[in-house]
Amino acid sequence: MYDLTIFKDYDIRGVYPSQINGQIASAIAHAIVLVFRPSSIAICRDMRTSGDELFKGFSEAFLNLGVDVYDAGLCGTELSYFIAGTYDYDLVLMISASHNPPEYNGIKLTKRGAISVTSDSGLFDIRDALSNAPLSNAEKKGALISIDPYPAWKEKILSLVHLDNLKPLSVVVDAGNGMAGKLVPIIFNDLPFKVTGMYMELDGRFPNHIPNPLIKENTEELRKTVLQSNADVGMAFDGDADRMFLIDDKGRFVSGTITTAILSKYILKHHPGEMILYNVICGRVVPKVIAEYGGRSRRVRVGHSYIKQYMREENAIFAGEHSGHYFHRDFFFAESGVLTALMVLSLLSQEGKKLSEYVDELSIYPDSGEINFFVPDANAIIASMKEIFGKTADSVDEIDGVSVWYQTYWFNVRASKTEPLLRLNMEADTKEILEEKLSEVISAIEELGGKRKG
């Protein structure tokens, strides 16, 4: 009856209306109640055009099953984490498909305490419960209550940044018609920055560009605007605004590795000796900067649910991913795009340096960026790559996929969690080494059956 492929490791996501719609939302609501037995659920949704239908499907089903529904209205995903970490609801449900094109929508679930529900902790149980008959309506219907989490969220965000000596920096923000169009003004309007907004109107059709800043063409206009306006920094957000990407004053896209290093410096300056995590795709400059500024570091696997788990284990103050996710212990071990943005602006204000100076200082190692391959069997190819290259490597680790380390370069290959893809990342001491070794590794993947995407 339902396309169960919409159930992923971290969320539920599919195409509207064929894979996900109000009727399917209602069925998922019954399965959620069967698995978690909640008495209260808060529901957030982003600006996607199908969000109202999904909200109606979920809320009516929950109410009929006797569950109180707290309607938080239009929110970025970080608001769902804030609600789960602050309020006493059993679950928080976020209706969003992040950076995906407009025909997609989805659901993220978070338990009280801002604990993400993943395939291992309930999502696949919900999937399996869809085969059960619908539950009977409760004798007493649940209550529908509107809530406004924004004032308390704003207070929390501002409490986590050193606001002293902020300078009137010129900032260009590209919201991509996503939720940053609502979140950024709420936080930035009371601060001294000169903000130029691009595509700030909430529009789930994404008429200007898909809100995925990792695709180069989606930041072209932002980069041009930063240069033309002589701005200090550009900031691009994804659709649900939990990820933030930097453009420096020279119009260059700043990688997640460099951004993680910059943020590590800022955090360790104010919190010396703390533990900071970074994922396996981040480059060698990250642990180098963390050590230089007196911090401790740990390299961990990719994925927000894993990183949040590791952060709790280590009580890590911060974690960075190459994909623009930045996690903060004091924000419930969760992502916040606007908090991360404010930290960068606070650092630039305090030290009086241009963002491009940090980028130049930290761009030590040339890298390939992420290269994707369509593959028949990602795990088989990963095993073969370990066998082929591991024989001559200085070391090999399998924290996530396989990472192969040599004295002058390293690379990682891992399977995508969301698509039938193999992902390759490489970093080297020089451009010459990078070009030579990248060619060798790509040839090996292609000989094993991989077909390069794009």
| Given the residues 98, 323, 384, 403, the one annotated as active site | 98
pLDDT confidence bin for 260, thresholds 50/70/90: very high
User: pLDDT tens, 75-129?
Assistant: 999 999 999 999 999 999 999 999 999 999 999 999 999 999 999 999 999 999 9
pLDDT confidence bin for 1, thresholds 50/70/90: confident
Q: Which residue has the tokens 């659709």?
A: 239
| Kind and range of the H or E run holding 197 | strand 194-198
pLDDT confidence bin for 222, thresholds 50/70/90: very high
DSSP state of 92: E
How far is Cα 113 from Cα 109, in angstroms, rounded to an integer?
12
Mean pLDDT of 279-293: 98
Mean pLDDT of 353-381: 97
Task: Kindly tell me if the per-residue pLDDT of 234 is higher than 80.
Answer: yes
Domains identified in the chain and CATH numbers: 4-151 (3.40.120.10), 170-253 (3.40.120.10), 255-359 (3.40.120.10), 371-452 (3.30.310.50)
User: pLDDT tens, 49-79?
Assistant: 999 999 999 999 999 999 999 999 999 999 9
Cα-flanking dihedrals φ and ψ of residue 412, to 5°?
A: -130, 135
Residue-level pLDDT at 373: 98
Task: Kindly tell me if the per-residue pLDDT of 418 is higher than 80.
Answer: no
**% pLDDT > 90, the chain:** 97
Q: Extract the tokens encoding 66.
A: 């006797």
Residue-level pLDDT at 86: 98
Q: Extract the tokens encoding 218.
A: 């989606």
Mean pLDDT of 346-350: 97
Report the candidate in 99, 116, 427 with the shortest Cα–Cα distance to residue 280: 427
Task: Kindly tell me if the per-residue pLDDT of 194 is higher than 80.
Answer: yes
Residue-level pLDDT at 454: 78
| Kind and range of the H or E run holding 172 | strand 170-174
Residue-level pLDDT at 297: 98
pLDDT confidence bin for 214, thresholds 50/70/90: very high
Mean pLDDT of 284-309: 96
Task: Kindly tell me if the per-residue pLDDT of 133 is higher than 90.
Answer: no
CA angle 110, 114, 120 (to 5 degrees): 50
- Taking CA atoms, 421 is separated from 215, 354, 376, 382, 408, in Å, by 17, 37, 9, 12, 27
pLDDT confidence bin for 420, thresholds 50/70/90: confident
Residue-level pLDDT at 417: 79
Residue-level pLDDT at 187: 98
Q: Extract the tokens encoding 192.
A: 């001294």
Average pLDDT, the chain: 97
How far is Cα 75 from Cα 342, in angstroms, rounded to an integer?
19
Task: Kindly tell me if the per-residue pLDDT of 339 is higher than 80.
Answer: yes
How far is Cα 413 from Cα 424, in angstroms, rounded to an integer?
5
Mean pLDDT of 211-217: 95
Residue-level pLDDT at 419: 77
In the β-sheet with 194-198, what is the strand arrangement from edge to edge? 194-198, 170-174, 233-237, 244-247, 253-254
Active site annotation includes 297? no
